[in-house]
Structure 1
Amino acid sequence: MIQIYDSESKQLIEDKSSKFLPLLKSKWNDIHSKANVFRYKILNLQERLLNEKYLLQLNPSRQSNRRYPEQINDICQPFDEKRFNFTKVSKEEIIFTFKEIDEGDSHAVLVNVSPISKYHSLLCPSIYKCLPQVITKESLKLTVDLMLLTQDRTLRIGFNSLCAFASVNHLHYHLFIEKQRLYVENANCNKIKGPLFKFDESYPVPAFCFEVFQGSEKVDDIFILLNYLLQKSIAHNVMMTRGDRIEGNREEVVRVLVWPRKSSMGAKQPVAFNVAVCELSGWFPIYDSEDYENLQEENLENELRKWKIDNFEELCEELKLLY
């Protein structure tokens, strides 16, 4: 059970996990319309679906008005309290805080002041522990539980590791609400071993895939992979979304997708788009109207392939020893 607290009064305002998403939407809308915390407003984004495969959304303000990203040089770079972190945000940016029953940590949900799309928010697990941008088993379980409890296919949870276009070195996940289906939700997968699957060759950049469903505990399995990537200093992006079950019947499950990728060491550079978790999922926020109109499937896939690690098949063989 989740207990949600008002950010100012600290009073309990909701203790039903099924209300998590409606409350987030309501409070996000209120902040968006009344507070002056967003660097730009999200109003009727243009979007187009390219070849029934890739979602493009025109968001020119994100390139010019967002906070300049932090310089990142190491996938395990320590947290630095002197740099910007999410304990320094204004009260107006806090949508709500919440705790899990029997857990003492406070988790915060914040508006993303430079949103990709409507309702784009940040989940900061154990915010006051000031953890670096490295997935912990506890935060992974929290996000998987949220995906299972909300039972809403529009919710996606994303994560960018350091050196994979993470902007802030303070543990956070991205909360997205998007009505359009993404190609990766139903992309064909092949078994590697045990619970570990991978995309087949039809997708331009390889990813690992786990499926999680009610009554299934896969957090330990997923964390084995993530911890191995950290040990090998392999940058990665993670997307949690609902999609078809890989084997057996076609019932809906939560897919946890993990892309090992080439490092993006250094600060982000403003280009037509950066390849982070959204883009790897087939969802492209585009900054320039001309690019938005003219980009084709070949352009997108060529850019995705640039970030494919060279030794993916070797990595698969190494992982077989862990499962």
Structure 2
Amino acid sequence: MFTYSDYNLTKEWSGDLEVHPRTEFSNMLRYKWDQLHDDSNVFRYKLGNIRERIIDKKTRYLLQLNPDRGSNRRSPEEIANLNQPFNTSKFNFTKVSPQEIMFDLVDEQNATDLHRVIVNVSPISRYHSLLCPSVNKCLPQVATKESLKLAIDMFFLFQDRDLRIGFNSLCAMASVNHLHYHLLMENNTLPVEIAKCNHIKGPLYIFDDSYPAPGFCFQIKHKHSIPQLAEDVHKLVRYLHENNVPYNILVTRGQGMGWEGTDEIVRVVVWPRRGSYVVKLLGAFNVAVCELSGWFPVYNDDDFENLRTEDIEIEIKKWRPEAFDILCQEIKSLF
């Protein structure tokens, strides 16, 4: 079990990735994941060299072929609505085998909460893991202010350019109704990280019309801004939840928005979207947080070889929320 201070969360992150090699925390996760993957039977399938291709230089959509995830993953839970309560009789992360647990993390300011990092036994890619905030409290899959702060804290803690942290709400492709975030490693730059944004109000930005998945964006450079950022993101997420709008969240690095001379900052993106009430393969790919970011795990060779930009954008646009312009004005009034 580790506390935040064990991994030097208090150290200022300057944004200069060249002078921040991977932290001990990031190296430990990679080592433990590799060890479990190579030397145990915890995973539902083993990952070899995943084939990938970038569709075109303009959009930079990333396709990765992973047929096993399409056929061998755990059956998703049936989700009826955003307010579906936690159900102890369903699969949840208190029921994983001890082998799946990589480590526990305790916030010294709130030691009653046990935050757990486990392997995802049906990984999208190498090092795909799950952060389960307050796992002992058995919370449903709703992004709380405390869990958002923890996820952003961990993002700074890793200091690893490959890390992304994602969240799928209920009715937005979450497959387990127990609070969790996805820890994902990918060395390609994703389209969402260079997408152009327009300032709306206060800390709130929005993607311009060139990005096919409309979403809201926040930015942060220094760790001392984390509490306010978590507050701002949660204000938006709470509004979406109270108005029955499913959502996906991504924490990633990306181009700065409106800060001259800043090449790269941390972006927190929130996508409101149409709901999906049955988690199953709806086409060549499902649309969850990875796909909204421009990263597409696909499950068969034909789709991998033949998908084009127009195919992807047609599918992505199907999940745009209704009356997004009206929603945008309502969100603007929160700030």
Do the two structures share a fold, i.e. TM-score over 0.5? yes
Aligned ranges for residues 1-323 of structure 1 at < 5 Å? 3=3, 15-17=7-9, 18-52=23-57, 53-104=60-111, 105-214=113-222, 215-216=224-225, 217-249=228-260, 250-269=262-281, 271-323=283-335
User: Using the alignment, how far apart are the partners of 2:159 and 2:68 within structure 1?
Assistant: 32
User: Using the alignment, how far apart are the partners of 1:287 and 1:220 within structure 2?
Assistant: 37
User: Using the alignment, how far apart are the partners of 1:189 and 1:255 within structure 2?
Assistant: 11
3-state DSSP class of the match of 1:68? coil
Q: Is the 8 A contact 1:240 1:257 kept in 2?
A: yes
3-state DSSP class of the match of 1:29? helix
Following superposition, the deviation at residue 16 of structure 1 comes to 4.1
Q: Is the 8 A contact 2:53 2:64 kept in 1?
A: yes
Structure 2: segments with no counterpart, 5+ residues: 10-22
Which amino acid is 2:41 matched to? N
3-state DSSP class of the match of 2:104? strand
Q: Is the 8 A contact 1:148 1:254 kept in 2?
A: no
Number of equivalent positions: 314
Following TM superposition, the consecutive aligned residue runs of length 4 or more in structure 1 with deviations greater than 6 angstroms are: none
Which amino acid is 1:266 matched to? V
After the TM superposition, which of the residue ranges 97-106 and 129-138 deviates more from structure 2? Answer: 97-106
User: Using the alignment, how far apart are the partners of 2:37 and 2:278 within structure 1?
Assistant: 31
3-state DSSP class of the match of 1:73? coil
Which amino acid is 2:254 matched to? G
Deviations for 1:17-54, whole angstroms, at most 9, x for unmatched residues? 54221110000000001110101011110001111310
Structure 1: segments with no counterpart, 5+ residues: 5-11
Following superposition, the deviation at residue 15 of structure 1 comes to 4.3
Alignment-derived partner of residue 18 in structure 2: none
User: Using the alignment, how far apart are the partners of 1:55 and 1:164 within structure 2?
Assistant: 21
Deviations for 1:234-253, whole angstroms, at most 9, x for unmatched residues? 00001110011100223321
Deviations for 1:94-117, whole angstroms, at most 9, x for unmatched residues? 111111222211111110000000
Q: Is the 8 A contact 1:148 1:213 kept in 2?
A: no
Following superposition, the deviation at residue 259 of structure 1 comes to 0.5
Following superposition, the deviation at residue 139 of structure 1 comes to 0.4
Q: Is the 8 A contact 1:63 1:270 kept in 2?
A: no
User: Using the alignment, how far apart are the partners of 1:90 and 1:103 within structure 2?
Assistant: 26
3-state DSSP class of the match of 2:122? coil
* TM-score (norm. length: structure 2): 0.91
Which amino acid is 2:197 matched to? C
Q: Is the 8 A contact 2:8 2:157 kept in 1?
A: no
User: Using the alignment, how far apart are the partners of 1:66 and 1:320 within structure 2?
Assistant: 39
Following superposition, the deviation at residue 316 of structure 1 comes to 1.0
Following superposition, the deviation at residue 229 of structure 1 comes to 0.3
Q: Is the 8 A contact 2:70 2:281 kept in 1?
A: no
Which amino acid is 1:212 matched to? I
